[in-house]
Amino acid sequence: MAAEMKTNPTTERYTLADLEKWGEIGGDIDPPIRLGVLGDPIAHSLSPHIQNAALRACEIDLQYARFHIRANELRSALLFLRKLDFVGINLTVPHKIAAFTQVDEADESATRAGAVNTIKMESEPCSHRPAAGHASNQSGANWTAHSAVATARGDKKLIGFNTDGEGFLRAIRTEFSIDLRDLRVMIIGAGGGTGRAVAWQCALENCERLVLVNRTLAKASELADKLGPFFTGARVLGPAARLEAIALDETALRAQLPEIDLIVNATPLGMNPSDPTPIPARLIAPHHIVFDCIYGSSKTALLRAAEAAGARGANGLSMLLYQGALSFSFWFNRDAPIETMRAALP
């Protein structure tokens, strides 16, 4: 694998075994890999496309790569990364929630969601503050000390952020020319790392209505308890409660969907082209707007169902772009070259 990596490093997938001997492997790669995304699966990730375009545009002589890290390998991967000269990483499925317990500090966006999609590695004790415009600037006390993992002397400190919620907010504006605050939103997979971040963003934006749907209902109910204070005022005309948690069950979905504008898929269902829709296609109506956090070359079954129903739909490419731009701004304390990043997308 080492010979291939030298020819085209950022299209390769590295593994935990590669991280373990990164001194041998990474040493030959020029520009050096100092950033990456950890996930399983990971081959589909377009983060290297946008981040490497941004690095080149900003004349930062580093590269960003994919790391295929399984759920049970995350802790070891982060321990190796602490000892390496990395700038930062992104986390994708299935690591966002587990990563929250592994970082040393978390900003407010990560603490709220209990999930991390961006880590910045710091050598010094953290004096860092989030970049301008990030949701965590909204209050003074933004930082949570974790110290869940003991760090050896000289190890990097891991600072966790979550850029998914704000990336989602911007994506909805871009794709549908509408603000979250005007929408009645249903999140499928609300108990997952992405679903939680999206739900918090909906609450912070004071959206009209929020229905949290999860296969494991208890996780959606727990989140609803936390978000309750955001939904106490009456905004919607009619009897529907502004905040509800329901199971991923056709009868419950059927009862909610007439009072919903935006349906969000935050489950991994659709990552494989053969995956079914996360909700029955027959429940989607022309008045719905469907946002699938998944992106890929082919349309997911959910987006095909939306099209067939005459509903508007969009995949997660613009969310990828905006969350990635925010990650870049945390790593380098500067604005990301967003148009260059957009142009790097397929």
- Which positions lie near ligand NAP, rule CB under 6 A? 92-94, 96-97, 164, 167, 189, 191-195, 214-216, 219, 248, 266-269, 271, 278, 293-295, 316, 319-320, 323
Measure the CA–CA gap between 271 and 70, rounded to whole angstroms: 16
**Closer of 47 and 63 to ligand NAP (Cβ):** 47
Measure the CA–CA gap between 279 and 47, rounded to whole angstroms: 28
Phi-psi region of 310 (alpha: psi -120 to 50; beta: other; left: phi over 0): left
**Closer of 13 and 83 to ligand NAP (Cβ):** 13
A 10 A CB-CB count for 328 gives: 27
**Closer of 31 and 296 to ligand NAP (Cβ):** 296
**Closer of 125 and 346 to ligand NAP (Cβ):** 346
For the bound state, the minimum distance from the C-beta of residue 317 to ligand NAP, rounded and expressed in Å, comes to 7
Active-site annotation, residues? 96
Measure the CA–CA gap between 17 and 22, rounded to whole angstroms: 9
How distant is the alpha carbon of residue 245 from its chain centre?
21
292 neighbors 194 (Cβ within 8 angstroms): no
For the bound state, the minimum distance from the C-beta of residue 168 to ligand NAP, rounded and expressed in Å, comes to 8
For the bound state, the minimum distance from the C-beta of residue 118 to ligand NAP, rounded and expressed in Å, comes to 11
For the bound state, the minimum distance from the C-beta of residue 41 to ligand NAP, rounded and expressed in Å, comes to 9
265 neighbors 294 (Cβ within 8 angstroms): yes
For the bound state, the minimum distance from the C-beta of residue 302 to ligand NAP, rounded and expressed in Å, comes to 11
**Closer of 87 and 245 to ligand NAP (Cβ):** 245
Tokens representing 249 are 């069950």
DSSP, res 206? T
Closest residue by beta carbon to ligand NAP: 192
301 neighbors 277 (Cβ within 8 angstroms): yes
* Residue showing tokens 């939904």: 231
For the bound state, the minimum distance from the C-beta of residue 32 to ligand NAP, rounded and expressed in Å, comes to 26
| C-alpha to C-alpha distances, 112 to 130, 136, 138, 196, nearest whole angstrom | 15, 10, 13, 8
* Residue showing tokens 């291939």: 4
**Closer of 66 and 219 to ligand NAP (Cβ):** 219
Q: What angle do CA 197, 108, 193 make, to 5 degrees?
A: 25
